[in-house]
Structure 1
């Protein structure tokens, strides 16, 4: 069997298993019995979410952070039109030792006007699936004292400042990645691996249908690819020729993968089958 096909099947299986696990092991559910404070145990059916007490927020409510570390040690799946809101007036936004999963209709909305730090107080993971949305009013730093990971399978990521993998600061851990399999990412700027360790990078997974847009005309993606800071399937020697750069929209540059020949063949086959069915109906 084609090894690339095996890879895609494995990725699909992992995605399905992940969603099943999230659903099957959820142990505490948001009720909002007291107020909108995400860090008040009284607002959850069985205490605060954690790695051993997985949380579910799926009733369309908007919950709020009141302190900058309210997401620390939280494991939460957000869906069904529900939103985790970070108010603009909060004294910082950082999280660690946590995992946030945004699935269909799940939203993470940060109005905080300075840098968001993933991995500040422990490793942090953000998983995004189709139909989800994440927005940051300013910078998003994927990595700080600890490793941080974004796995985007779908949905929309909007960053009003710089996407940095990781933050350029003393004590920053190495090994952080942004993995894009599907959906769209838009940021005003892109900064990769400022400590030059070679272990932090933006990664297009094999067969990715996602796009990365930087709101700058003719942004220099080629240098980042040549330096191994933007990769395909974790390969530090990925080729610029395997990417498509689109500058047709003024003031922005979009990067995506050139579809594999098999993808074109599949699309052509679907079109041909549709044409046959239409003729038969006629």
Structure 2
């Protein structure tokens, strides 16, 4: 006889059904690509992203704006900020592309990544601040931070990390044509870990917070200016100041090597006046050199062959001790 009795669902069946309903809401993040640069008045709040990076692709979820747990990629020109926090889970600026700080105030982006060859620019008059939970520079090559005009200072409070293959970060603030502290880039996160070279092409690179400039080297060009508001030490780093470039020497700075105005600086510790009297360095290289209280210390970094010789001697000593015992 056919049994038409309906069985009640078990607890296990109900739990499985609930789980199946819940799964679609987990891990639904997708990657959206910027369609194009957009007009001058556009920003990251506009619906200019799609799954395939074309104007005909499906729009971003619901409103067409960045949001949710989705990842966003700028591989199509310039992406401009707005007065709101970037709503996506992450933002990547591809090589050759730009994140332009347009909003007068603070723009916040979490999980921000720049590929080598990309850049940050201040795109409008007035000071701008970039914040977030992290700014990573990835790949091989260089990265650039620039203003493009005067009165466009940039402050970055995000923690900056960089791959060891990022050789240098170029700083190009203002178009004065001579060293000035009025056009600056200020790094305020004390946990920054960049270990390459800060190449100061124009304007001021300002380390207002201890650790803000990482453990790095510095190349100050004829229109560049360097100011660290804390004692800095990198015994493997290099300081190069080209004739015309300037340094605020009011802290204790330590490097493995230094060349100032074309003159190599021998190992030792020197004030601005001692650099002038010992090596003939123009006092105009240093801000307020006459009253400067800072110093530059140059340590002798052994050549690789010296390390090899030392290792060999240690090895020989170990063998001799073993034989005696």
TM-score if structure 2 supplies the norm length? 0.47
Give the structure 2 partner of residue 76 of structure 1.
Answer: 112
Give the structure 2 partner of residue 141 of structure 1.
Answer: 186
CA displacement at 1:28 relative to structure 2: 7.5
8 A contact 1:203–1:231 mirrored in 2? yes
Give the structure 2 partner of residue 248 of structure 1.
Answer: 262
- Cα distance in 2 for partners of 1:244, 1:210 equals 6
8 A contact 2:129–2:154 mirrored in 1? yes
CA displacement at 1:213 relative to structure 2: 3.1
CA displacement at 1:182 relative to structure 2: 4.8
Deviations 1:205-227 (A, max 9, x none): 4x533435376579674x521xx
Aligned-residue CA RMSD (Å): 4.4
8 A contact 1:28–1:54 mirrored in 2? no
Matched, 1:126 2:160: yes
CA displacement at 1:154 relative to structure 2: 2.0
CA displacement at 1:160 relative to structure 2: 2.4
For the residue of structure 1 that corresponds to 2:236, the secondary structure is: coil
TM alignment of 1:1-282, pairs within 5 A: 31-35=33-37, 39-40=44-45, 42-43=47-48, 47=66, 53-69=89-105, 71-87=107-123, 89-103=124-138, 104-105=140-141, 106-114=143-151, 116-118=153-155, 123-129=157-163, 130-137=166-173, 138-143=183-188, 147=189, 150-158=192-200, 160-166=202-208, 175=210, 177-182=212-217, 184=219, 188-193=224-229, 201=230, 203-205=232-234, 207-211=235-239, 213=241, 216=244, 221=249, 224-225=251-252, 230-231=253-254, 244-248=258-262, 258-261=299-302, 263=304, 265=306
- Cα distance in 2 for partners of 1:81, 1:52 equals 23
CA displacement at 1:80 relative to structure 2: 4.7
- Cα distance in 2 for partners of 1:139, 1:55 equals 25
Instruction: Report the structure, 1 or 2, having the larger helix content.
Output: 1
Which runs of no fewer than 5 residues in structure 1 stay unpaired? 1-26, 167-173, 194-200, 233-241, 270-282
8 A contact 2:92–2:113 mirrored in 1? yes
TM-score if structure 1 supplies the norm length? 0.53
Give the structure 2 partner of residue 169 of structure 1.
Answer: none
- Cα distance in 2 for partners of 1:28, 1:182 equals 39
Deviations 1:246-268 (A, max 9, x none): 33269768x79545225452599
Give the structure 1 partner of residue 313 of structure 2.
Answer: none
Which runs of no fewer than 5 residues in structure 2 stay unpaired? 1-28, 52-59, 61-65, 73-85, 174-182, 264-280, 287-295, 311-325
8 A contact 1:99–1:126 mirrored in 2? yes
Deviations 1:150-189 (A, max 9, x none): 43322543252333332xxxxxxx6553223356455743
8 A contact 2:162–2:193 mirrored in 1? yes
- Cα distance in 2 for partners of 1:192, 1:96 equals 21
Distance 1:163 1:66, change over 3 A: closer
Deviations 1:70-109 (A, max 9, x none): 642343221253333322x333222223533333344333
Higher Rg of the two aligned structures: 2
Distance 1:180 1:115, change over 3 A: farther
